[in-house]
Structure 1
Amino acid sequence: MMKHGLFVGLLTLDFIYLAESPPQENQKIVASDYTVAAGGPATNAAVTFSYLGNFAKILGIVGSHPITGLIRGDLDAYGVAIADLEPNHVYPPPVSSIIVTQSSGDRAVISLNAAKTPANTTTIPANILENIDIILIDGHQMVVSQEMAIMAKNQGIPIVIDGGSWKPGFENILPYVDYAICSANFHPPHCHTEQDVYNYLQTFPIPHIAITHGEKPITYSHHGQISQIDICPTPTIDTLGAGDIFHGAFCHYILQENFPNALASASKIAALSCQYFGTRQWMQHSGDG
C-alpha cells in the first residue's frame, strides 16, 4: 500500500562530475562523465521514498529563480511534490559542485547549505501533515523543522532525523524523535565516542537509534540494547548520496518492518546506489521499484 512521507530540509541543484581525482590548486581537469540532479539530504531521501512506491513531498525553499526549473523538473520526473516555503524567493538556490573519484567512489563537495535562506514557520502550508504517515528532518531548516516535529508528534506521526552531522538546533527537535539515524560523523556537544552519542540521544529519550559507518556494520540501539547489522560487501563506483538514499529507504521499510529489519533492508538499497554513478542511476538497475 502506498504511504505518504514528508521530507523537511534542503533543496539544492547538484552538478556531479566523475573524474580521476579532484583538481589541485590552479589545475584544470576533464571529467569522464557528469550529471545534474536536485540534491540535499531530505531531497534525495524523498526521491528514494517515492521510487519505492510511495508519495513523497519535500518541504523547503525553492523560489522563483530561473534555474529552479531544473530542480522542479528533476523532482517532477521522480514523482516528488514540492511544498515551497518561499515561492517568491528570487535568488539562486544553493548549488553544489561534486567531484567523484573514479577509482574509489569517494567524493569532494563544495556547496552552500540553507543557512543563507532560513525559512520561518509562518510560511508552512496549512494541512501540510494531512495523510502523512512519516516525516524525515535533515536539520537544514531548524526553525521550521522544530515546528513540524511538534505538529507531527501531536498527531502521532513517526519522526525520523537524518543525523549526517550535528547542527545547532537539533537539541530542540530530539525530544520529539522516534528514529535517530545518524552517521559516524554525528557528534553532539561533548560527545567524543560512539557510546557518548548513544548516551546523549537516549537521554531525550529516543527509542530507536542507529549509527552508520559506510561499508562497516551499522550499530543500533533498540530500547537501550545495542546490536549491529553487517553490511554485505559491494563494489563501489560512487558513494555520493548513499546516506540520503539509506534514509529514504528506511522511511519506506520502517512502515512495514521492525527496526532492525528496516535498517538491513535500507542498507541494501544504499549499497546498490553505490554501484552506479550519481544519485539516480541506481534506480535503472533496481528490481525493487
Structure 2
Amino acid sequence: MKTGLFLGLATLDLVYLAEKPPGENQKVVAADCTIAAGGPATNAAVAFSCLGNASVLAGVLGTGAIAQLIRADLAEYDVRIIDLQPGLSHSPPVSSIIVTEATGDRSVISINATKSQVESQTINQDILTSVNIILFDGHQIPASQEIAELAQSKNIPIVLDGGSWKPGLEEILPFVKWAVCSDNFHPPDCKNSQQVFAYLSEAGIPHIAITRGEKPIKYLSKGSFGSLEVPQIQAADTLGAGDIFHGAFCHYILQDNFTNALAAAAKIAADSCKTFGTRQWIKNIQP
C-alpha cells in the first residue's frame, strides 16, 4: 500500500442540485442536496484512498462544529488528518455549490485558505514518515515550501494541483515533478497554454499537463508535446472532477508512466461526473 500526503484546503461543501442557479433576489428550490468535506487536496485524498492507498490530509481544521463534520466525513473514507493548527477556534471555510441539472455545470461561492495560513515553523518533520507521494493544491504556501524542502531531502516526488495561480507558488515550482493544471492556471504574464508550458518548464518541472474539461489534455513531458483524448460522457455533476483527477493521478503515477497515468486519471474523473456530488462515484469504482 502506498501513502500519499495531501496538503492544502479543507472545506465543508453544501451542494445543491437545481434547475439553474438563482438570479438576484430570487429563491430556488433544490431537487437534491448533499454535504461533504471538500477542497482540492481533500477530494484528492479521498480519491487516492478509495483507489486502495493510505491518504493523509494536512490542512487547517480547528476545533469547531464544522471541523467535526469534515472529520466525520473523511473518517468514512479512511483519510487520516493532520491538523496544522489544532488549537484554532475559528471555522474552516464553507462552500455553497449549485449544480445545474441539465448540464452538470457548477456555481461555487467560498472562502479559500487566506484566513488560515500556517506558518512554516509549525510543521513536524515526522509528517513525511512512510510517504510515497505528495500533492500541493497551493492553498498553504509557507507550509508547502517547508515540506517541499524536506521531501527533496528524502526523494519524495511532488505533484502540483494547479487549479489557479496563487501568489508564492513560484517558490514551490522548483520542487515539483508533475504539474497537472487546469485551463484557468495562469502564472504571471501567461495568457495561453504555450506560455504556461514555457513558464513551468523554465521553473524546472519535467512533466506538465493542462486539463481542459471535455477537451483533450495537453501535456509536455521531458520536452515532448502531446495531447490525450478524454472520455466523452453526459455529465450529471462536474463538481470536484479536477480534484478527483489529481487523487487518481497520484495513484496511477506510482505504477505507470506520465501519459498512461493521465489517461487513467481522466477515466476516473469522467466517471465521477456521472453522478451527483463528490462521493457517489466511489460505489462504482474499479481501481
TM range (shorter): over 0.9
The match for 1:129 is: 128
Shift in Å at residue 287 of structure 1? 2.5
**Paired letter, 2:35:** V
| Gap regions ≥5 residues in structure 2 | none
The match for 2:215 is: 216
Q: Distance in 2 between matches of 1:153 and 1:132?
A: 12
1:59-78 superposed Cα distances (whole Å, 9 cap, x missing partner): 11000012211100000000
The match for 1:92 is: 91
1:49-92 superposed Cα distances (whole Å, 9 cap, x missing partner): 00000000011100001221110000000000000011111111
Q: Distance in 1 between matches of 2:5 and 2:204?
A: 23
Shift in Å at residue 172 of structure 1? 0.3
Secondary structure in 1 aligned to 2:87?
coil
Q: Calculate the TM-score normalised by the size of structure 2.
A: 0.99
Q: Distance in 2 between matches of 1:43 and 1:69?
A: 15
Q: Distance in 2 between matches of 1:193 and 1:126?
A: 38
Moved over 6 A (4+): none
Shift in Å at residue 126 of structure 1? 3.6
Shift in Å at residue 154 of structure 1? 1.4
Structural mapping, 1:83-122, within 5 Å: 83-122=82-121
Secondary structure in 2 aligned to 1:83?
strand
**Paired letter, 2:270:** A
Structural mapping, 1:163-202, within 5 Å: 163-202=162-201
Shift in Å at residue 193 of structure 1? 1.3
The match for 2:256 is: 257
Higher mean C-alpha displacement, 253-262 vs 124-133 = 124-133
Secondary structure in 2 aligned to 1:127?
helix
Q: Distance in 2 between matches of 1:126 and 1:217?
A: 39
Secondary structure in 2 aligned to 1:57?
strand
Higher mean C-alpha displacement, 124-133 vs 23-32 = 124-133
| Gap regions ≥5 residues in structure 1 | none
Q: Distance in 2 between matches of 1:185 and 1:5?
A: 25
Contact kept? 1:16, 1:35, Cα under 8 Å: yes
Q: Distance in 2 between matches of 1:84 and 1:244?
A: 20
The match for 1:281 is: 280
Q: Distance in 1 between matches of 2:227 and 2:101?
A: 30
The match for 2:74 is: 75
Q: Distance in 2 between matches of 1:192 and 1:240?
A: 25
The match for 1:24 is: 23
1:157-195 superposed Cα distances (whole Å, 9 cap, x missing partner): 000000011011110000110000001110000011110
Contact kept? 2:125, 2:150, Cα under 8 Å: no
**Paired letter, 2:271:** L
Q: Distance in 1 between matches of 2:107 and 2:203?
A: 34
Q: Distance in 2 between matches of 1:72 and 1:206?
A: 34
Q: Calculate the TM-score normalised by the size of structure 1.
A: 0.98
1:93-150 superposed Cα distances (whole Å, 9 cap, x missing partner): 1000000000000000000000011111222134100100000000001010111111
The match for 2:54 is: 55
Contact kept? 1:158, 1:177, Cα under 8 Å: yes
Q: Distance in 1 between matches of 2:124 and 2:112?
A: 22
Q: Distance in 1 between matches of 2:234 and 2:283?
A: 17
Secondary structure in 2 aligned to 1:25?
coil
Contact kept? 1:83, 1:125, Cα under 8 Å: no
**Paired letter, 2:193:** E
Contact kept? 2:59, 2:83, Cα under 8 Å: yes
Q: Distance in 2 between matches of 1:29 and 1:116?
A: 30
Q: Distance in 1 between matches of 2:15 and 2:153?
A: 40
Corresponding residue pairs, total: 287
Q: Distance in 1 between matches of 2:149 and 2:121?
A: 15
Structural mapping, 1:31-50, within 5 Å: 31-50=30-49
Secondary structure in 2 aligned to 1:34?
strand
Contact kept? 2:182, 2:211, Cα under 8 Å: yes
Higher mean C-alpha displacement, 125-134 vs 95-104 = 125-134
